[in-house]
């Protein structure tokens, strides 16, 4: 894990294995695991190993990790969705971000309405 880890961050603790999770995949840059409160039959979180609060922060400091995160989210969707999926990044409390470690939600397996509520 990068030196930017936050010892109080839930997702950093999942990266290190301190907190268990149902891991779907791991790469040198990412960890993907099933959401504990799934909002769709497929609901996987893909996170960078590096602690950054949101996708904008990650993109500003580590382009390689950002690309790796997006590529892994696509692989997860291709493996677990049947062609249709939603990729969501919530940024900030008003957008319902509850863990301030960058993460992508890969959602699939049911009709997803628009606009999201």
Q: Are 53 and 102 in contact (CB under 8 A)?
A: yes
Q: Is 26 inside any structural domain?
A: yes
Q: Is 30 inside any structural domain?
A: yes
- Complete DSSP assignment for 40-68: SSEEEEEEESS--SSHHHHHHH-HHHHHH
Indicate which residues carry an active-site annotation. Answer: 103
Give the Cα separation of 102 and 40 in Å (integer). 20
| pLDDT tens-digit series, residues 17-69 | 999 999 999 999 999 999 999 999 999 999 999 999 999 999 999 999 999 99
Average pLDDT value for the chain? 94
Q: Assign 116 a pLDDT band (cuts: 50, 70, 90).
A: confident
Compute the average pLDDT of residues 90-109: 97
Q: Is 85 inside any structural domain?
A: yes
How many domains does the chain divide into?
Answer: 1
Domain, as residue range, for 70: 10-108
CATH of the domain at 23: 3.30.428.10
């Amino acid at each position: 894990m990068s030196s930017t880890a936050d010892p109080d961050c839930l997702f950093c603790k999942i990266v290190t294995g301190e907190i268990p999770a149902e891991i779907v995949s791991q790469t040198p840059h990412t960890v993907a695991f099933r959401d504990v409160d799934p909002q769709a039959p497929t609901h996987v979180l893909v996170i960078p190993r590096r602690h950054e609060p949101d996708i904008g922060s990650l993109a500003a400091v580590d382009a390689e990790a950002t690309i790796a995160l997006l590529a892994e989210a696509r692989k997860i969707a291709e493996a677990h969705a049947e062609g249709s999926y939603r990729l969501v990044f919530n940024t900030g409390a008003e957008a319902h971000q509850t863990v301030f470690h960058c993460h992508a939600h890969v959602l699939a397996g049911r009709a997803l309405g628009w606009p999201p509520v």
